[in-house]
Structure 1
Amino acid sequence: MADLPQDLRTALDAALSSVPGAQLTATFQRLSTRYREEQAATTPIMATPADVITYSAYRMPATFAAVRSALEQVALQLPDFTPAQQLDIGGGTGAALWAATDVWPALSAATVLEQVPEAIALGKKLALNAESPTVRDATWTTGRLDQTTFASADLVTVSYVLSELSPAQQQDLVAQLATQQGLVALIEPGTPGGYERIVAARDQLIAAGHRLIAPCPHNLACPIPRGRDWCHFTSRVNRSAVHRRTKGAELGFEDEKFSYVVTSPTLQAQAANRVVRHPQQRKGLVSLRLCTGDGELREEIVSKRQGVLYRAARNTEFGDPWPG
């Protein structure tokens, strides 16, 4: 379960408290339709102040959860790595900034690049009383992705951005990312389209000399059958009362599906295998669907007779690394 930090939840709820519930719900219906379309657009998905606050209400918790889950896997693979500087490209109201500082509290500086001034204004407002000095003191820069040359950083995050770009713009953005010397983390919706964008970026970064950090345990071609399946993971998100009201939802949680890739031209560490489906548990058995270090998909059955390994399998979750 990925919860927003309490200081962020408090700030977000305070920002939402002045907006009538009916307005939140109506704007949510319009924005969620456009978000699900996953098509490049000539205008940002957040076009007005009402759009910004509503989008933040229903997407910021999920974006935080997805980015945090991806970066947490990086921290597992690179336990001695602590980024000093983050560049968050297309960062909206700062969900990836909050996620990075939650994974690496020692992160000392961050820059958020966003083209919508209203999103920057809300992001700054949410960060005013953050416990993390890096969140409070982050630099917020207004700029279009296709008109900006990115500064260097040892952690670059790009979350839920590629879907708003044309294929040519996506390639241009990834080409810029390929020049970075630190970690590059790309996160997209866990849909067939999101996976296709991630795997295209993955191939482009590998061709430019990057190596995979997560989730892939290899630098070979993705073994997922294209057009028949897709690689994605999930992170459970707690819904606040305002979050439920905005979405017209009854459950106190939701599962955010996401696809991601993290690469670097200078760092190297990969999981031996990666669990790519929810483990199936039967009496005395755990079945794991693995993407393996040799670039193949494999089913592994772990029985109770295997003792320590069986206990580890019972505690293993979808998306975790697995020895082998």
Structure 2
Amino acid sequence: MSPDAAPATAPIRHLFRPLLPEATTALAGYPALLRRALGLTPGRERELPWRIRDLSLSLTAERDGGPKPGYLSEPRTLAAYAWYFLPWNLLRLSRLLPGLDLDLPDGGLVCDLGSGPLTFVQALWLSRPDLRRKRLRFTCVDRSRRALDLGQALFTGLAGFDPTTADAPWRIRTVRGEYWQGLADGAQLTTMVNVANELAESGREPLDLRMERLAGQLADSLAPGGRALVVEPGTRLGWRCLAAMRTALVEMGLGLAAPCPHGEECPFSASKVRAWCHFNISLAGAPAWLTTLSDKAELGKQRLSLSFLMARAAPPEYAAQAVRIVSGPFSLNDAPGAAVYGCTEKGLAVVVAPDGRAPRPGDLLIRDIPQDAPRDAKSGAPRIILDAQAVPAPKAAPDTAAVERSGAKPPRRRPQPGTGSGVDRPAMPKRSARPAKSHSGTMPGAKSTRRSGGGKYPGSGKRSGKA
């Protein structure tokens, strides 16, 4: 059975968890760590909102060219990145990682490719206290030595020990170079955060072929039972990269651990729903200083968005009748309550909650789809009707009470009041009040070239992305 799946008798399993109290405290005090690690003067700190705004422009897809490779090696650019993009990424990863099966063994090796300022390692420490007792080895690679050094200083401040010493519980080795130079045989976990989309945009090779080769590199690095985790912004390009990698990994015989509840063709590649697989989650736990800074930089956020894929070097096993919720709630014209889209081995399904308490994005349900299930008029997908007890009542905590939408809403469908949409790309200045449309066209590029197996691949020599 997939580690992220649940037995038929289990209740709904939430993928995105509330931020841990100690993580909330750490993020609230993160500016003090940044000031010490960066050594900013008051003047340079005052100019951060403008530099963050400029960096956001260079990272936005609509801007031609994008940032130059190794852009985090420039001190002022790195400072802008560390004050804005780094903490937002820590927040979204800290919401995701507790819901994933990452039971790493003592002495296990973790390869983090395109590490930037050790974003993934910091988020893992903040969100997974169960792993702090393990003695783990990390190899972190990035093109910017300055970013790696900053990450080590920030991790030391969070964890309270120097990860470069021989007796450290987590030992971190940093490598300045291309992403493929961080690959090593026998990894229990190989990760890439916000790297694949940058690799896809560099070079002339077709996206599917590039992602297929990247999937082969990740698979070759894993020990038996090891995991590969790739996280991307919740954009169409990010999901196109993941969809191509997903196809290649399935063809190589790896099992999909999350979020996919099956190994069949991705329903978004052939569905009538003009959307792609990504998850929008609330800003619950975001520190006040970060939201204030976002407003000053004219990049105010309404939600966090991501796409991700986790595969395991083990024979695939999937729970029967598993349904992964892949959208936020919307209203139906011909039925009361709220509805969401679910991903199943039979394709997309419309999950209907007559009492209005629909499951949240990322939730995993075990539900059968009857052969005579009514079909949704808009999407053609079968409808699964939940009983009133199928979805737990919302708790008082902000994370549970907030409506967390994603982009799998069909066109012209009436959303429930209080919901919004958007993606976690850097927002264009002056447009922060306008949610981006998240139900764009059907995701292309889901089918990759067939391959017969693994094999070692030489590095591409292109730039690696930053978390």
Give me the TM-score of the superposition, normalised by structure 1.
0.81
Shift of 1:11: 4.5
How far apart in 2 are the matches of 1:207 and 1:319? Answer: 31
How far apart in 2 are the matches of 1:51 and 1:251? Answer: 17
Shift of 1:116: 0.4
The alignment of Structure 1 onto Structure 2 pairs a total of residues equal to 315
1:74 aligns with 2:100: yes
1:88 aligns with 2:112: yes
Shift of 1:202: 1.1
1:177 aligns with 2:218: yes
Q: 1:18 aligns with which of 40, 43, 47?
A: 40
Amino acid at match of 1:10: G
Change (3 A) 1:111 1:9: farther
Which residue does 1:46 correspond to in 2? 72
1:288 aligns with 2:340: yes
Describe the superposition over 1:117-138 as per-residue Cα deviations: whole angstroms up to 9, x where unpaired: 1101110111223237696642
Describe the superposition over 1:171-228 as per-residue Cα deviations: whole angstroms up to 9, x where unpaired: 4332210112311110111011111111111112112221111111111111114693
How far apart in 1 are the matches of 2:261 and 2:162? Answer: 32
Larger radius of gyration: 2
How far apart in 2 are the matches of 1:107 and 1:279? Answer: 39
Q: Secondary structure of the equivalent of 1:32? A: helix
Which residue does 1:258 correspond to in 2? 306
Change (3 A) 1:33 1:114: same
Describe the superposition over 1:285-313 as per-residue Cα deviations: whole angstroms up to 9, x where unpaired: 34232111x24111122345934214369
Which residue does 1:130 correspond to in 2? 158
Which residue does 1:161 correspond to in 2? 195
Contact in 1 for aligned 2:111/2:182 (Cα 8 Å): no
Contact in 1 for aligned 2:229/2:309 (Cα 8 Å): yes
Structure 1 unaligned regions, length at least 5: none
How far apart in 1 are the matches of 2:72 and 2:56? Answer: 11
- Identity of matched residues, %: 23
Q: Secondary structure of the equivalent of 1:128? A: helix
Which residue does 2:329 correspond to in 1? 279
How far apart in 2 are the matches of 1:204 and 1:215? Answer: 16
Structure 2 unaligned regions, length at least 5: 1-17, 164-169, 356-385, 407-467
Change (3 A) 1:157 1:40: farther
Change (3 A) 1:256 1:193: same
Instruction: Flag the structure with higher strand content.
Output: 1
Shift of 1:70: 3.5
Shift of 1:241: 1.8
Contact in 1 for aligned 2:257/2:312 (Cα 8 Å): yes
Shift of 1:251: 9.6
How far apart in 2 are the matches of 1:207 and 1:230? Answer: 21
Change (3 A) 1:120 1:163: same
Q: Greater CA deviation, 63-72 or 92-101?
A: 63-72
Contact in 1 for aligned 2:258/2:311 (Cα 8 Å): yes
Q: Greater CA deviation, 208-217 or 298-307?
A: 298-307
1:207 aligns with 2:251: yes
Change (3 A) 1:41 1:299: same
Which residue does 2:281 correspond to in 1? 235
Q: Secondary structure of the equivalent of 1:301? A: strand
Amino acid at match of 1:308: Q
Amino acid at match of 2:261: P
1:145 aligns with 2:179: yes
Amino acid at match of 2:132: P
Change (3 A) 1:132 1:89: farther
Q: Secondary structure of the equivalent of 1:46? A: helix
Structure of higher RCO (CA pairs closer than 8 Å, 6+ residues apart):
2
Q: 2:135 aligns with which of 96, 100, 108?
A: 108
Change (3 A) 1:197 1:252: closer
Amino acid at match of 1:264: R
Change (3 A) 1:59 1:164: same
1:244 aligns with 2:292: yes
Aligned Cα RMSD in Å?
Answer: 3.5
Describe the superposition over 1:5-51 as per-residue Cα deviations: whole angstroms up to 9, x where unpaired: 53465344442472524431232122212222287876134240211
How far apart in 2 are the matches of 1:223 and 1:319? Answer: 19
Amino acid at match of 1:309: A
How far apart in 2 are the matches of 1:152 and 1:61? Answer: 31
Q: Secondary structure of the equivalent of 2:214? A: helix
